[in-house]
Amino acid sequence: DAKTTQPTSMDCAEGRAANLPCNHSTISGNEYVYWYRQIHSQGPQYIIHGLKNNETNEMASLIITEDRKSSTLILPHATLRDTAVYYCIVNDGGSNYKLTFGKGTLLTVNP
């Protein structure tokens, strides 16, 4: 699986958009970008994933650059409950489907 690089921590004001970057410069053509988050004392929670097109669901938007070497997870209106560790993971989603977590980004949403 390709390696990802994320900032250790970020802050965001409540109600503002939170933009979480991820670098995955060694991503291969068949690998997807997955985002999970982990709120304190809970298991990780799936947010969104994409291959090369931008994706949006009820939780977030995923913007993947044209060369696919980086992506940004966007929480459009962050709330205090969005404070969590956010993990960016690259995986081919095939028969060897296995998520390998790094340390992620601790997003703190401030009132």
Region of 10-18, 62-70, 76-84, 87-95 interacting with another protein (CB under 8 A) = 87-95
Token code pair at residue 14: 């409540």
- Looking at beta carbons only, is 2 or 99 nearer to another protein? 99
Tell me the HSE value of 21 on the side-chain side, using a 13 A CA sphere.
9
- Residue 98 CB, nearest approach to another protein (Å): 6
- Residue 102 CB, nearest approach to another protein (Å): 5
Cα separation of 29 and 52, whole Å? 9
The verdict on 30 binding another protein (CB under 8 A) reads no
Work out whether the CA dihedral 43, 82, 55, 103 comes out positive or negative: negative
- Looking at beta carbons only, is 15 or 102 nearer to another protein? 102
